[in-house]
């Protein structure tokens, strides 16, 4: 059955740069675009908060910002981290390693820091606003069609930056994309969680490793799914912990039916993990589940086909590019697609040995990997940039999103300012400062 749906709608805003998606890449893009004098920037976000997985998603910790010697997510990433530290939003409270290693996130503070930074930069923010379509003229996107409580309307922009994570704007505008592996497998999602009542001193003194004890619990029938992969619980306060635990196997983050099933199933199965931590480990006996994430942690969906596809070979060779917009160093982190012990053994070998750098090593990110091959006034940033599945497994995390978001936003703004095509941008105009 088909329904022809026709409406005449208002164009409510005309801007220079419209960023779609207010996660880490989108915040970096909008902030960086607004720092170019005279550029009018609008950031469109579907939820009620900026920050994506680090805020509403409840991801409990940043992955590395640097390579162990050098801070790589310069510019927006560095400014954000220092503002967050000053506001008491990191755990531990003081950032002791300026090379930018792992640290816990206090999500409520992070929300306010994003708000403050973007408003002070002069970004026009529209929350609770969903992209639902695009209006295209040849290879150019002319309007983003959005829906909000006020109804359906259009936004006109000279440049668009797709920071949706799933590449929605690009795909709806006709851009080609890749998705999953050769067998259409996708990484599982995770519904992150927040706990209180944890005695972290007892946890530390016990010396028990949850990744070892989970096999015992699986053998005892505690879990519906025998999943050995357990990233764990990060300390976020004296007795507060943030969980990156459980996997939503078979999740497709571009399918609302799949998302609905896995939100419900993940909330149900979280009780199994509470039982595991309470009964099989020390220090968790009085833990209580406070909340699960308002957003599902989606690790992988579409990857937009861009002028350059970053690959595993680029990771292995620590590649450099003439059009490099930054460098990054996180290991290739591709979560197993099925709860299979052999797959998990292979994952551990890859993540901890095969695809991990020594201190000071990194790979370059090409500006061309931010330019959709089939579009002329759109840039893409975040986990859906032009990459193969392996490189995507590294650059998809928050610090990587800051690097690509900053470059895409700055490039969009400079191209408007100079009235040139996005492909004519010189990368020396996009410094990470």
Residue 155, φ and ψ in degrees, nearest 5: -125, 125
Q: How many whole angstroms separate alpha carbon 389 and alpha carbon 185? A: 11
Specify which residues 379 forms β-bridges with: 161
Question: Which residues have CB under 8 Å from 225's CB, separation 6+?
Answer: 247, 249, 269, 339
Q: How many whole angstroms separate alpha carbon 33 and alpha carbon 224? A: 47
pLDDT digits (tens, 9 = 90+) for 113-159: 999 999 999 999 999 999 999 999 999 999 999 999 999 999 999 99
In a domain, 23, yes or no: yes
In a domain, 2, yes or no: no
Residue 429 confidence (pLDDT): 82
Residue 100 confidence (pLDDT): 53
Residue 157 confidence (pLDDT): 98
Residue 97 confidence (pLDDT): 53
In a domain, 3, yes or no: no
pLDDT digits (tens, 9 = 90+) for 69-116: 999 999 999 999 999 999 999 988 655 555 556 689 999 999 999 999
Question: Which residues have CB under 8 Å from 247's CB, separation 6+?
Answer: 188, 189, 190, 225, 227, 229, 335, 336, 339
Residue 20 sits at the vertex; the CA angle it makes with 15 and 26, to the nearest 5 degrees, is 105
Residue 51 confidence (pLDDT): 98
Q: Can you list the residues of the chain whose pLDDT is less than 70? A: 93-102
For 167, half-sphere exposure in the C-beta direction (CA atoms, 13 angstrom radius) is 28
Write down which residue in 292, 316, 342 finishes a domain.
292
In a domain, 285, yes or no: yes
Write down which residue in 227, 260, 292 finishes a domain.
292
Q: Based on the structure, what is the number of domains in the chain?
A: 2
> Could you tell me if 165 and 29 are in contact, meaning their C-beta atoms sit under 8 angstroms apart?
no
Q: How many whole angstroms separate alpha carbon 221 and alpha carbon 235? A: 28
Segments forming the whole domain that contains residue 342: 11-181+300-429
Q: Are residues 127 and 243 in the same domain?
A: no
| pTM of model > 0.95 | yes
In a domain, 188, yes or no: no
Q: Are residues 42 and 176 in the same domain?
A: yes
Question: Which residues have CB under 8 Å from 178's CB, separation 6+?
Answer: 302, 303, 305, 388, 389
In a domain, 5, yes or no: no
Q: Are residues 28 and 174 in the same domain?
A: yes
């Amino acid at each position: 059955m088909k329904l022809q749906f026709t409406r005449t709608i208002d164009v409510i805003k005309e801007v220079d740069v419209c960023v779609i998606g207010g996660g880490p890449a989108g915040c970096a893009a909008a902030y960086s675009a607004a720092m170019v004098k005279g550029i009018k920037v609008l950031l469109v976000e579907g939820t009620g908060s900026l920050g994506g997985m680090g805020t509403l998603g409840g991801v409990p910790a940043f992955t590395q910002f640097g390579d162990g010697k050098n801070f790589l997510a310069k510019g927006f990433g560095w400014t954000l981290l220092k503002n967050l530290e000053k506001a008491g939003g990191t755990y531990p409270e003081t950032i002791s390693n300026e090379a930018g290693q792992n640290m816990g996130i206090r999500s409520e503070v992070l929300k306010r820091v994003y708000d403050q930074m973007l408003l002070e930069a002069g970004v026009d923010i529209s929350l609770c606003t969903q992209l639902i379509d695009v209006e295209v003229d040849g290879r150019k996107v002319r309007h983003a069609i959005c829906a909000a409580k006020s109804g359906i309307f259009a936004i006109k922009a000279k440049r668009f930056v797709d920071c949706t994570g799933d590449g929605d704007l690009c795909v709806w505008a006709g851009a080609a994309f890749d998705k999953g592996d050769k067998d259409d497998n996708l990484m599982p999602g995770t519904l992150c969680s927040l706990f209180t009542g944890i005695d972290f001193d007892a946890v530390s003194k016990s010396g028990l490793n949850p990744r070892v004890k989970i096999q015992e619990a699986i053998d005892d029938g505690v879990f519906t799914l025998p999943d050995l992969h357990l990233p764990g619980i990060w300390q976020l306060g004296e007795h507060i912990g943030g969980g990156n635990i459980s996997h939503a196997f078979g999740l497709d983050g571009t399918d609302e039916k799949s998302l609905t099933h896995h939100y419900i199933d993940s909330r149900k199965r979280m009780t199994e993990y509470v039982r595991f931590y309470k009964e099989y480990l020390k220090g968790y006996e009085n833990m209580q589940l406070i909340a699960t994430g308002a957003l599902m942690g989606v690790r992988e969906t579409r990857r937009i086909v861009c002028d350059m596809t970053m690959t595993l070979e680029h990771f292995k060779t620590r590649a450099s590019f003439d059009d490099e917009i930054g460098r990054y160093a996180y290991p290739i982190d591709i979560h197993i697609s099925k709860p299979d012990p052999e797959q998990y053994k292979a994952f551990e070998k890859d993540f901890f040995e095969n695809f991990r750098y020594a201190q000071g090593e990194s790979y370059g990110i090409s500006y061309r990997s931010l330019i959709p091959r089939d579009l002329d006034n759109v840039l893409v940033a975040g986990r859906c940039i032009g990459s193969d599945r392996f490189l995507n497994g590294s650059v998809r995390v928050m610090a990587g999103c800051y690097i690509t978001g900053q470059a895409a936003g700055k490039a969009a703004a400079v191209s408007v300012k100079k009235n040139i095509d996005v492909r004519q941008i010189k990368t020396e105009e996009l410094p990470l400062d």
